[in-house]
Amino acid sequence: MNPVYHQAKFINSSPDLRDTPQDQGREIAFAGRSNAGKSSAINTLTRQTGLARISKTPGRTQMLNFFEINAQQRFVDLPGYGYAKVPVAVKKKWHELMEKYLTQRKSLCAIILVMDVRHPLTDFDWQMVEWCQHTGLALHILLTKADKLTYGAAKNTLLQVQKELNDINFPLSIQIFSALKKTGIDELHKALDDLFNQEDY
């Protein structure tokens, strides 16, 4: 476990790229469905219960939320997609914000794609996988809420997702995770270390 992630602190929420922190150093962005458990994963890996806002209403992450680990490393919580009961115009705005961030942010070095282990590889998940493949951006998939399944069932889902992604030819890793039981926390810390320290991106 890398205790450096426990020092993470909230910087700001940005509705537009113009309001984001200076585009330098390295950022790892967390993407996923509104109810996949992104905020819970961030809170668990940083050991801070209230760092990323968690709501019983999916889709509350409506901006780019930046968290500083140190002067050269940040996490970014992207707007959730797919589930939130919001007007089409708002969803369109979220999509445009994410697209701008993903295509224009120079410090972005990797994506953590968060999926509910019970509902992996949705259409948007595939779009994100294919976008990472197209750009060569490193990708780590987090199959969350593993506590909702038996270990065997969660492991089977992991193997099935690995099989479906077998033909994807770019840096990709995948793991099981549970914020509730802290399953996979050391593995996630190791993946983040590797992603932040990769030489080329």
Q: How does pLDDT run across 52-110, given as a tens digit for each residue?
A: 875 555 445 578 999 999 999 999 998 887 655 667 777 777 778 888 999 999 999 99
* Span 1-41, pLDDT tens digits: 678 999 999 999 988 888 899 999 999 999 998 888 998 99
User: What is the reported pLDDT for 82?
Assistant: 66
**Confidence check: pLDDT of 200 > 60:** no
Q: Specify which of 60-64, 120-124, 167-171 reaches the highest per-range mean pLDDT.
A: 120-124
**CA 173, CA 190: separation in Å to the nearest integer?**
11
Query: Into how many domains does the chain fold?
Result: 1
| pLDDT for residue 94 | 72
pLDDT at position 83: 55
Q: Phi first, then psi: what are they for 121, rounded to 5°?
A: 55, 55
Residue 122 CA to residue 130 CA, distance in Å, equals 12
- Please report the pLDDT score of residue 59 as a whole number: 47
Ramachandran class of 98: left when φ > 0, alpha when ψ lies in -120 to 50, beta otherwise? alpha
CB count in 10 Å sphere of residue 57: 11
Helix axes 38-46, 185-197, angle to 10 degrees: 90
Q: How confident is the model at residue 170 (pLDDT cuts 50, 70, 90)?
A: confident
Distance, CA of 69 to CA of 74 (rounded, Å): 5
Give the integer Cα–Cα distance in Å for 181 and 197: 28
Cα 105 to the chain's mean position, in Å? 16
Q: What is the pLDDT at residue 145?
A: 96
Q: Tell me the CATH number at 113.
A: 3.40.50.300
Question: Rounded to an integer, what distance in angstroms lies between the CA atom of residue 160 and that of residue 117?
Answer: 11
3-state secondary structure of 201: coil
At 98 the pLDDT is 84
Domain hosting residue 159, numbered range: 3-197
Position with higher pLDDT, 88 vs 155:
155
Identify the pLDDT of residue 42.
94
- Burial of 194 per CB tally in 10 Å (0-12, 13-18, 19+): middle
Calculate the average pLDDT of the chain.
88
Query: What's the length of the chain?
Result: 201
Phi-psi region of 36 (alpha: psi -120 to 50; beta: other; left: phi over 0): alpha
Q: Is 201 a residue whose pLDDT tops 50?
A: no
Question: How many Cβ atoms from other residues are within 10 Å of residue 106's Cβ?
Answer: 11
Q: Please tell me the predicted confidence (pLDDT) of residue 61.
A: 58
User: Above 80 in pLDDT, residue 162?
Assistant: yes
What pLDDT does 85 receive?
Answer: 62
